[in-house]
Amino acid sequence: MARPVRLGTRGSKLAVAQSGTVADALRSVIDRPVELIEVVTPGDRSSAPVRRLGVGVFVSALRDALAAGEIDVAVHSYKDLPTAPAEGLTIAAVPPRADARDVLVSASGLPLAELPAGARVGTGAPRRMAQLNALGADLTCVPIRGNVDTRLRKLTAGELDAVVLAAAGLQRLGRIAEATEFLDPDLVLPAPAQGALAVECRTTDAELVSALATLDDASTRAAVRAERALLAALEAGCSAPVGGYATVADGAVFLRGAVATVDGSTSIRRSGTGTLADAESVGRRLAAELLDAGADSLLESAR
């Protein structure tokens, strides 16, 4: 019997669910068993805010296990990855993206525009706080951490009036029906690479690189390349108040980007377009426009 492909995953329900979909897809294209291996990351051990723990807190242990030969494949939420590549590793597949939007789940069933003044809205992301505050709806953003279950329990416990989550997470957990409202990207831009997965393996593992390449979605990869190039050129981490969302149609990439202060008092939005082959350049050009408009000072204040 062929040696199993050891697919590394974090242990949360969401991580296991999304890794399971990759494992099923990989089984269909490779003549080897695929087994999930749980890897505990520093981010799983701490309840501190992600921005305090640092970029890559959910990624480093998986990458260390890959480099050490303890696992053969790692599945990451792409938005958690540092923008710099990891030596000796390659992102062999970016599967088709789930819904990239944020969703509101409110205890009352009211949409965002109808929440009363002072409503307590839970989110752990400075990006979401900044854009919600910029709407001028007099909401109270409450920093929270934890998995989807933990965040939704705060609603039923009466600690919060609403929470903002990634639509992709609820979809992968089979709980999207609990969403009150999908938030329009024109109001709240998603995080760069939100809803996308990065499937990583060792560069030297030719068999897996080839097998995983069949799971790759060119449009998703191009969109994510544009969004992450924007993030990298802004020199902003995944916890910075930066939104970026690219769509692909008719061979073109259309990218929107936003930088804001966490209190929402100042925000800068720009957009740009280019070809799929030019995706990273689209991101860099848009970052330059944002910086020329003063985004560097907003990012510095956020730091």
The CATH number assigned to the domain holding 159 equals 3.40.190.10
CA gap 232, 238 in Å, rounded? 10
Residues of the chain with pLDDT under 50: 43-55
200 and 54 assigned to the same domain = yes
Residue 275 in any domain: the answer is yes
Residue 191 in any domain: the answer is no
162 and 295 assigned to the same domain = no
Q: What is the dihedral of CA 233, 238, 244, 246, to 10 degrees?
A: 90
128 and 172 assigned to the same domain = yes
| Given the residues 72, 80, 99, 102, the one annotated as active site | 80
79 and 212 assigned to the same domain = yes
109 and 28 assigned to the same domain = no
Residue 128 in any domain: the answer is yes
201 and 79 assigned to the same domain = yes
Nearest to 189 by CA among 265, 134, 146: 134
90 and 142 assigned to the same domain = no
The predicted-structure confidence for 88-106, as pLDDT tens digits, reads as follows 999 999 999 999 999 999 9
Please give the tally of structural domains in the chain.
Answer: 3
25 and 64 assigned to the same domain = yes
135 and 80 assigned to the same domain = no
Q: Tokens 């390659």 map to which residue?
A: 90
Nearest to 290 by CA among 197, 224, 192, 195: 192
Residue 41 in any domain: the answer is yes
Residue 203 in any domain: the answer is yes
Domain range for 250 is 226-302
10 and 90 assigned to the same domain = yes
Residue 189 in any domain: the answer is no
Which amino acid does the sequence have at 234?
L
DSSP H helices in 114-242: 126-134, 148-156, 167-172, 206-213, 218-233
- Tell me, yes or no, if 184 is annotated catalytic: no
Residue 187 in any domain: the answer is no
**Eight-state DSSP code of residue 178:** G
Residue 190 in any domain: the answer is no
15 and 84 assigned to the same domain = yes
pTM: 0.90
173 and 133 assigned to the same domain = yes
Number of helical H runs and strand E runs in the chain:
11, 13
The CATH number assigned to the domain holding 249 equals 3.30.160.40
